[in-house]
Amino acid sequence: MIDLRSDTVTQPCKNMRRLMSNAMVGDDVYGDDPTVNELEQYSSVKHGFEASLFVSSGTQANLLAILAHCDRGDEYVCGQNAHNYKYEAGGAAVLGSVQPQPIENLPDGSICLDKVVAAIKPDNFHFARTKMLSLENTIGGKVLSLDYLKEARAITKKYALKLHLDGARVYNAAVALNVDVKEISQHFDSMTVCLSKGLGAPVGSLLMGERDFIEKARRLRKMLGGGMRQAGILAAAGIYVLKNNVDRLAEDHENARYLAQRINELPGFDSTGYEVDTNLVFLDVDSSVDIQAFTEVMFSKGINITPGYQGMRFVTHSGINKEKIDVFIDAAKTYLLVS
Ligand SMILES: *Cc1c(COP(=O)(O)O)cnc(C)c1O
């Protein structure tokens, strides 16, 4: 299968599987798993935080961050397109009684910081208490500039808000900017990283922040049923990908640019309205294409894509290379020109 649906579809490589099967493990709920402890320590040093927590998913990491920073009746400001607002089943509101205050994302993925300031509620019993600003990097494949992060830090300091980064794909941002990940993480009170996206681990995310914050998150993780036992088998994969799979993200970005360019050879497909910063390719498909039929025919030829018209999305990852992109383009051309 040539799978262009997401960078979550990667398969663990042989070296990763070997490390996983040989990992020293213990009961992590007792704090006994040496491999989980190694991953959490390594993460803290690598990302410049006091402490880290290994969790089951990016969704859980974001939820823990919101619940640990905010109490019932508090609110967090985020982008209208933020994953932790739009794509996490409303967890902060459902499970934490924490209200999101979304603000439209600009085309570059940022949120206007003047609008953030304007959205901060006065200290008055009519209002929810504004506690935190949540940014996302990359967002829709876009990289937030380091200057923007600096401004966001200054604003949140001035108004005593916590600053959280949903960094599911923060390594794609760091590689695209050609900077150490700390250049990004230094601005935040807390940050998440997905080990299971482009980095290629089978399961797991990290949440990091100050020690007290992580201890609070550890209690909340247990409450949510997220305490894992011999989780070192999974943590071993996390250590592996942080040490081995960061630099290769540049290949995914190059392949995404190549795919974005070649997709315009297909009648009815147009990626020219979208810039490719990282590993996500967006495009429009016009109504001359029966996208459902197209998707089914591609599937029958071993190519898996998600159907969609406006803002259709392809994602590159370690299972995709230029040859596979060529196979996809050729199959698509053959079908579109004949049908
Ligand atoms: C995928 C993703 C998440 C959630 O990660 P899961 O492990 O799928 O729960 C959170 N934020 C962003 C920006 C993501 O892309």
What distance in Å separates the CA atoms of residue 273 and residue 264, rounded to the nearest whole number?
11
Give the pLDDT band of residue 39 (cuts 50, 70, 90).
very high
Interior angle at CA 332, CA 338 and CA 10, nearest 5: 160
Q: Domain spans of the chain?
A: 10-243, 248-338
What distance in Å separates the CA atoms of residue 25 and residue 235, rounded to the nearest whole number?
10
The answer, yes or no, to whether any atom of ligand 1 lies below 6 A from the CB of 164, is no
Q: Taking all residues of the chain, what is their mean pLDDT, rounded to a whole number?
A: 97
Q: Average of pLDDT values for 61-74?
A: 98
The answer, yes or no, to whether any atom of ligand 1 lies below 6 A from the CB of 59, is yes
Sign of the CA dihedral running 254, 260, 263, 265: negative
Q: Is the pLDDT of residue 339 over 90?
A: no
List Cβ neighbours of 305 (8 Å cut-off, separation of 6 or more): 4, 5, 295, 298, 299, 314
Q: How far is the CA of 193 from the centre of ligand 1 (A)?
A: 9
Q: How far is the CA of 84 from the centre of ligand 1 (A)?
A: 8
Beta-strand ranges (E) seen in 50-189 are 51-55, 74-79, 99-103, 129-136, 162-167
For ligand 1, atom 14, name the residue with the nearest CA. 168
What distance in Å separates the CA atoms of residue 60 and residue 8, rounded to the nearest whole number?
16
For ligand 1, atom 8, name the residue with the nearest CA. 58
Of residues 59, 83, 89, 69, the one with CA closest to residue 129: 69
CATH class name, domain 10-243? alpha beta
What distance in Å separates the CA atoms of residue 202 and residue 196, rounded to the nearest whole number?
5
Q: Please give the number of the atom of ligand 1 that sits closest to the Cα of 56.
A: 7
Q: Average of pLDDT values for 194-201?
A: 98
Give the pLDDT band of residue 102 (cuts 50, 70, 90).
very high
Task: Report DSSP state, residue 263.
Answer: G
Question: Token pair for residue 64?
Answer: 């823990």
The answer, yes or no, to whether any atom of ligand 1 lies below 6 A from the CB of 141, is no
Q: How far is the CA of 197 from the centre of ligand 1 (A)?
A: 8
Q: Helix crossing, 232-244 with 14-22: angle to 10°? A: 140
Among 54, 59, 142, 196, which is best to mutate for testing ligand 1, by the most ligand atoms less than 8 A from CB? 59
Give the pLDDT band of residue 246 (cuts 50, 70, 90).
very high
Q: Please give the number of the atom of ligand 1 that sits closest to the Cα of 138.
A: 13
What distance in Å separates the CA atoms of residue 289 and residue 335, rounded to the nearest whole number?
11
Of residues 275, 246, 241, 242, the one with CA closest to residue 172: 246
The answer, yes or no, to whether any atom of ligand 1 lies below 6 A from the CB of 194, is yes
For ligand 1, atom 12, name the residue with the nearest CA. 168
Q: Is the pLDDT of residue 26 over 90?
A: yes
Domain 248-338 has CATH 3.90.190.20: no
Q: Average of pLDDT values for 232-239?
A: 98
Q: Average of pLDDT values for 186-203?
A: 98
Task: Report DSSP state, residue 142.
Answer: B
The answer, yes or no, to whether any atom of ligand 1 lies below 6 A from the CB of 57, is yes
Q: Average of pLDDT values for 290-315?
A: 93
Give the pLDDT band of residue 45 (cuts 50, 70, 90).
very high
Among 197, 224, 280, which is best to mutate for testing ligand 1, by the most ligand atoms less than 8 A from CB? 197
Residue 309's pLDDT is 73
The answer, yes or no, to whether any atom of ligand 1 lies below 6 A from the CB of 166, is yes
Q: How far is the CA of 58 from the centre of ligand 1 (A)?
A: 5
